[in-house]
Amino acid sequence: MNGNLPELKRIANRMRHNIVKMIGAAGSGHPGGSLSATELVAALFFKVMRHDPKKPAWPDRDRFILSKGHACPVLYCAYAEAGYIDPALLMTLRKLGSPLQGHPDRRFLPILEASTGSLGNGLSIGMGMALAGRLDQKDYRVYVMLGDGECQEGQVWEAAMFAGYHKLDNLCAIVDYNKIQLDDWVAKILDLEPLAAKWESFGWRTLTIDGNNMQKVLDAFEQAKMTSGKPTVIIANTIKGKGVSFMENNVEFHGAAPNPDQVKKALEELDKEAAVLA
């Protein structure tokens, strides 16, 4: 996958379009954190990671773990855009028997690297994969996306300590720092700051960026690839509900589906953006 900057922006817009439609059709889901992570996931799947939809189990592929599994619509949209799954499946999100469960589940969708959504576990899974790659003398990289509220979990910091101590430079964590979790703003529930200093104290290289700026995202992933002797964390400052005006920075849309009128309005806004990007 080797998208250029304009095409990556168009892909992100199409993914947002599908996120809104599929969560609206399901009548439940997590739009806010799916929309905030779209540039990050689009960059990974269509520029950064080494992978092949025709060989999803390719041993030398890069791995992506969506630790904040409730944001799975963004991952499913990337899979559809890349050719891993039929795009028609997107509208079956959260339906009984659908491979696209409300949290990523390998029993239903075997192309997933891991079943996730029990918050706090993804970095440990990715850390294990990165260590296995080193032991097997493989050059694949492992990318793990964490939620900011998820970083309140103690297991995240156990994994961070292990990865830093063992200098797992084939591991890159991404914190989708959209500042909102289920009930309220992160800073009101359990403030993470100073977040960058915490990661650095565990032996990680820390990059803080605008996570909704595609060029900044690409630059950060390139710096992560070039880092030797320590894992990298990208603290991506994002906007919850990015791209849909009434969802942006709105706590309500952490875990609430838009109603039909809201879906219509959101898609109209995204269509206007698509026209600009065309």
* C-beta separation of 21 from 73 below 8 A: no
- Beta-bridged to residue 145, according to DSSP, are 66, 174
Residue-wise pLDDT for 184-205, tens only, equals 999 999 999 999 999 999 999 9
E strand segments, 83-170 = 142-147
215/6 Cα distance (integer angstroms)? 10
Residue 18: name the closest of 236, 243, 278 by CA: 243
| Residue written as token pair 């603290």 | 235
Report which residue type is found at 45: F
Question: Which pLDDT score is estimated for 145?
Answer: 98
193/130 Cα distance (integer angstroms)? 27
- Beta-bridged to residue 66, according to DSSP, are 145
- Sheet-wide strand order for 63-66: 63-66, 142-147, 171-177, 232-237, 205-210
| Residue written as token pair 């029990």 | 118
Question: Which pLDDT score is estimated for 274?
Answer: 97
Question: Which pLDDT score is estimated for 1?
Answer: 61
Report which residue type is found at 150: E
The full set of domain ranges for the chain reads 5-277
CATH number of 5-277: 3.40.50.970
Question: Which pLDDT score is estimated for 278?
Answer: 87
274/191 Cα distance (integer angstroms)? 36
Q: Give, in degrees to the nearest 5, the angle at Cα 74 between 70 and 79.
A: 120
Output the six-digit token pair for 61: 């592929």
DSSP state, residue 172:
E
Number of separate helices (H) and strands (E) present in the chain? 10, 5
pLDDT in tens, the chain (278 residues): 667 999 999 999 999 999 999 999 999 999 999 999 999 999 999 999 999 999 999 999 999 999 999 999 999 999 999 999 999 999 999 999 999 999 999 999 999 999 998 999 999 999 999 999 999 999 999 999 999 999 999 999 999 999 999 999 999 999 999 999 999 999 999 999 999 999 999 999 999 999 999 999 999 999 999 999 999 999 999 999 999 999 999 999 999 999 999 999 999 999 999 999 98
* C-beta separation of 61 from 52 below 8 A: yes
Question: Which pLDDT score is estimated for 43?
Answer: 98
Question: Which pLDDT score is estimated for 3?
Answer: 75
Question: Which pLDDT score is estimated for 21?
Answer: 98
| Residue written as token pair 């103690």 | 154
